[in-house]
Structure 1
Amino acid sequence: MLEPQITAILPERVEERPGIEKQVVPAEAKVYRFNAYHLAEALKLKEIAKLFDLKPLVLNPTRLVYELAENCYCILYNFGAVVFFNVDSEVQNSTLERLKNSLFLSNPVTTDEFLLEEKRRAKNEVFFDNVVVDKLNRDKIELLSLVLAQSTALEFFENKVDELLNQVGVVSSKPSKIRSFISQAMLTKQNLIGTLYLLEKPEETWENKILDDLHQEATMMFELKERLRALDYKLKTIQENLELLSNFTTNRQMLILEAAIVGLFILDLILVGYEVFWK
């Protein structure tokens, strides 16, 4: 079984920071690493569980959790993300390769990493690229893994929506092309909505203030709610612009049709006049 992969045991050291007195980092501080990958818009967790001999700790409709060793986890989410905690890079790569080859997935679309520092008697606190906890446990690991997975999923949708925005200006004026593009935008929004419910507070936070505070801080640090609102606004803008273009195209076609009818009527009058006056 894989031995725990602690990324660093920090010795006591002194850091110089502008405007701040010298900081002493305790020798017992331990640093662990999260690695997150977004593989697809959705993952079928039951199928994935069949790929591995190791019995999962958790298998439910939303997540699949494996404990590879003490404090070493692989967590997969139904919205397309996988997060490794304290797992050797070779094990990560071999796991990702098996997933890609078995499920016909492409390379990870978005990736991220985040550090967790365990310090005894320290305050639980989330920073820009790391989190500090006083005591490491599975609940905290799973909570932070979920937030990181959601962030990589949002980045996936952000990239996709930006591509849609770039295509709006060059989309064909043909009604069939416009309808196809509208369907694509609506499908993206539906997939995004399918991920939204996961931004609700996990049940574990309902009766645990420490986990609740940690979840709130992590959610704010990764700006999940703000990014969701921005995505929703962009998708609405795309849809409104396409609907306007579709209406304009339809109206233009109606005008052309009406002009054609009027033209045919005029031609009919000319023919009638020809028959009356020239015969």
Structure 2
Amino acid sequence: MNNFCVGFLLTLSTIFCCSASAQKAKKPLVVFVCGDHEYSGEETLPIVAAELEKNYGMRTVVLKASPDHNSEENIPGLEILKDADLVVFYLRWRRLPAEQLAHIDAYLKSGKPVMGFRTTTHAFNFPKGHPSEKWNAFGEFALNAPPGWGGKAKHTHYGHTSSTDVSVVPAQANNPILTGVAKDFHVRSWLYHVVPDYPSNGSIPLLTGTAVKPERPAVQNPVAWTGTNAFGGKVFMTTMGHPEDFRVEAFQRLVINAIHDELGLKVPKKWKGKMDIQVPYRVAK
């Protein structure tokens, strides 16, 4: 083979490698941070992550509490947040060490988008007087949600035996996040009480929930909203997230749509098909 041919092949190889690297670099990185005692987020969200990679051109990383979901003080790998384009949290009452919280803090301060599911309203549970106690209000400063469970916001629910009818807020019917989402649908999640003070001013409720067979008198509450958090980051938050919710096509579409919207991508009009998510609920610790 002459020098011209060798040089030509090497040039083609370089172009191909550079093109492949550029293609990979264009794919947004979505990092899922999981650690809850109750809702099996570390099982449902990896299925969502796999779907994003297979059908929606994204890269994903799933971080889990270690050694298991009941481990409240360790989520390895949080340093990857520095490279994330979106972080999706599904947490419940964690007590992470300061060096791990620092990675979350740096991400929030970058002003990048944040997404949260259900118990992430009470993601952290540090004792009173602890140096990291301020993190108990993560729901408020990161997701425009109540600052933890109970308290002055009276953040609570309407009983484990109840469920929720969900409806699109009429004024938001044309919101891209609701593309293909049924106008009305039902989820197993028992309704969370967040009103009247939350979601925070400036947030836009997308879906409203009505408790079905509540264990005490109930009022309608927003169950999904968007907004901008205290750091200027784009927010999508839903108080839904029971594992059986993930079996509902309307909820699946909401999640996929919201991830695209958070990344500043056009919400796909063509649905790639319902995911098979058969994950059991477990009794809370």
Higher helix share: 1
**TM-score, structure 1 length as denominator?**
0.21
**TM-score, structure 2 length as denominator?**
0.21
RCO (CA 8 Å, sep 6+): is it higher in 1 or 2? Answer: 2
